[in-house]
Structure 1
């Protein structure tokens, strides 16, 4: 896999812990076991655009007031949605 930061080959998939601000800006939450990428050459740990988009869409579509401070990625993604899709994305 090619690193998106330094463009070197050898980046690997890794489960990461990320901190994400809720769409309403009231607080941030910790999301564990989030799919990510780690490059041992440059030391960057990051999420792909696909994962970022999935996270942001899910947070827009669920009742975030029910979320605790820490949640596992798969549990977050399985939360019931209030809308079927993000109608604000053009």
Structure 2
């Protein structure tokens, strides 16, 4: 069996969508295009997995966000150089 929708439990597919994210310092929000998503045709939900959410949040915490414009693709965001090797404040 493939990917299941976390909302309705029916079969879903991998896809992409555009999301809007507040920067960790709270100064502004950015658009992140082509973000990996789960797409459910049954209940029409399109959402990011917990893993993708954590990747985005960690990356935004570890890079110089002043170098990001108002919009960036997910792939571009994830390849930006990090100021730290990892998020030392994540105790999960």
- Give the TM-score range, shorter chain: over 0.9
CA RMSD of aligned residues (A): 0.6
Aligned residue for 1:54, secondary structure, equals: helix
1:44-79: CA deviations, max 9, x gaps?
000011100100000000000110000000000000
Indicate the residue corresponding to 2:4 in structure 1: 2
SS at match of 1:59: helix
Matched residue, 1:21: 22
Please, what TM-score do these two structures have when normalized by structure 1? 0.96
Q: Which runs of 5+ in 2 are unaligned?
A: none
Shift of 1:8: 1.1
Q: How many residues align?
A: 89
Shift of 1:7: 0.9
Residue pairs, 1:1-90, within 5 angstroms: 1-9=3-11, 11-90=12-91
CA deviation vs aligned residue, 1:5-56 (integer Å, no higher than 9, x gap): 11112x1111110000000011100000000011011110000111001000
Equivalent-residue separation in structure 2 for 1:57 and 1:18 (angstroms): 16
Which ranges of 4 or more aligned residues in structure 1 deviate by more than 2 Å? none
Gaps of 5+ in 1: none
